A and B are shown apart, each in its own frame.
Chain A
């Protein structure tokens, strides 16, 4: 299928969202995508390094104008502290994949050592029926191993959402929190 001009402008954006740890916020954040018929490619939520603040890492394929509007809508949600979007070259990102393969087939196939070395994978579990392999990397990496293991036979394959850290020397959340503290102190005076 030929790509339209619109598709060409579309890229993978990684959105980092920081919020208070309050139930229901995830729903409000995903609603913003649903309304715009925008797909969430990956989503990962966890506590951040700062107590009481949760971090969401969301990837979506869209154009910059849309991702800009989407992050503004997120920041509008009460108790969302910050939302920023990044292109792949602005972040260090990883995802983790687990593969469950039949041990017999694995032993009969090309060298395990070669496979593990080539992909920099790890063996997590081996028993008579199956073996679990783990790989951390970019989607291309986990997909390449998936392709090879598919030939052997795969019982299960599972992949996490992306997690990402920015390359920028500016720590936006820390700056925000410092700033907000100043505003709070001023209001309390």
Chain B
């Protein structure tokens, strides 16, 4: 069969379809118009969701990717379209989210001339993307798109940027589908060292107080069952990072909670008491470790990771097991002896009791005063029977949701961990409804973050994305206010918020809403939200000046947590 001669923009469509893309989040503009023109011929296979700002396109693609396990795709124009996408690209880089972001670019002949809406996207995105490449000729398209999807989705996933010059969109080219399964300078399947597997198993077998700290790597590898097999066989308690929360069902007896600054007391204390720390698909972020000089110094450390650059970056391991944990975990499990660490596991109980008595009970079951964030989260997760996808914004809403939402299924957490992007929540939740169309998607956000990308209510209006928006309104930038209370002598500089009537805004976008501040109404309002078809805004007036506790202050020993001011 001879090669077809088609337009560059059409070659892009064919390449995207060849990669199995079904969903594109984007926004048109001058330098990407030929692509949008070709898109009109493929609306049956390529569902385009028109966002209201390019940042929203990238976050939505992140939400799609995180819930579906597939590569998220965005199309934006050159110049401001591209720079608006930067925050999302950086977010995806830090949180290892597979994306292909296609930016329009001026014609090759104009490159470097400061042409209208020209910006050097490849240079800007180099440090914050896994790969960025400028397509200057239509003949490059099939190759570049195949390479982009291959790089974004394999190994440690990440965002890829394709900067698509306008002449390449218009030129005619021979097209045939292109496949890439190998790149010489990129090895997404590092070979597994048998020696490291044996050494890891030996250390786990000799451990009396083993503790596993688990991150998103397990979810990215789809190694949830492999993780279970290891921890159940060797009887190892587990702490999870923010992004790894649904790597293990919340109700599993070996789940000991969340790690880090606003995590649970038990896992943080036990990090500094265990004799073997088994890190799986996590990167020892400073929000997890606190001061590295006091972090797990007593323990032998085994680090499972697919990215060799993570080994020893923050914590020097005794043994590194490099590779995809879908393969490395079973290899180690096969050599691990069945074990029982009852006494060690029970030693978490005093910390759990302490945290429950000092924080959890009053957060989840207050009898008087305004509604707390915790009781909203707890009631919502209960009403969804722990089956919903949790999307959060950033701040107190995020930490409280992470602490009290419960998970039964993999890929159930969509949150901005590394970059901590306020405004992430709403667009990411929209994307999540496309990535997991059969699941309930619950977004918890604050009054600050919601307003950072509130224009995406328009995307909901147009697409009907059934996002359940739970706005925890305390009329403050709550997390910053908390730090001002704790570390800046209660000087609330620029954190009180004068807010609009969110219900009216929802109404303008034809989104049903309900606002409440009375505890008696909460369960009924949640029921109304969940039984209403489509999107819903539930605005809960919560305690204005509440703090997320416990807390390990930044840069300090993570096992020493504050319980009050």
Query: Which residues of A approach B to under 8 Å, CB–CB?
Result: 19-20, 24, 27-28, 31, 35, 65, 68-69, 72-73, 75-81, 180, 183-184, 187-188
Contacts and interface: CB of A to CB of B under 8 A. Distances in A.
Contacts of B126: 24, 27-28, 31
A172 to B, nearest CB: 14
Contact of B309 (A19, A31, A72): A72
B185 A20 contact: yes
Contact of A187 (B123, B181, B311): B181
Interface residues of B, number: 21
Contacts, number: 53
24 contacts: A19-B185, A24-B122, A27-B123, A28-B127, A31-B127, A35-B127, A65-B312, A69-B313, A72-B308, A72-B311, A72-B313, A75-B308, A76-B309, A78-B130, A78-B131, A78-B151, A79-B183, A79-B184, A79-B185, A81-B184, A81-B185, A180-B187, A184-B182, A187-B181
B485 interface: no
A184 B182 CA distance: 7
Given A28-B127, A75-B308, A184-B184, 9 more contacts: A24-B123, A27-B123, A69-B312, A69-B313, A72-B309, A78-B151, A78-B183, A79-B186, A187-B182
A50 to B, nearest CB: 11
A81 B184 CA distance: 7
B307 interface: yes
Interface centre among B132, B183, B186, B312 (most CB of A within 10 A): B186
Contacts of A77: 185
Nearest to A185: B182
A40 to B, nearest CB: 16
B307 A76 contact: yes
A116 to B, nearest CB: 45
A22 to B, nearest CB: 9
Nearest to B147: A78
Given A24-B122, A27-B126, A180 B308 contact: no
Contacts of A73: 309
Nearest to B186: A78
A75 B190 CA distance: 12
User: Which 6 residue pairs spanning A and B have beta carbons closest together?
Assistant: A79-B185, A72-B309, A76-B309, A78-B131, A78-B186, A31-B127
A69 B309 contact: yes
Contacts of B132: 24
A183 B182 contact: yes
Interface string B138-168: 0000000000000100000000000000000
A188 B186 CA distance: 16
Nearest to B127: A31
A77 B130 CA distance: 7
A144 B396 CA distance: 63
A76 B184 CA distance: 12
A52 to B, nearest CB: 10
A69 B307 CA distance: 12
A122 to B, nearest CB: 39
Contacts of B183: 78-79
Interface in B173-211: 181-187
A80 B186 CA distance: 8
Given A31-B127, A35-B127, A68-B312, A78 B185 contact: yes
B273 to A, nearest CB: 27
B100 to A, nearest CB: 14
Contacts of A19: 185
Contacts of A183: 182, 187
A189 to B, nearest CB: 11
Interface string B97-129: 000000000000000000000000011001100
B298 to A, nearest CB: 21
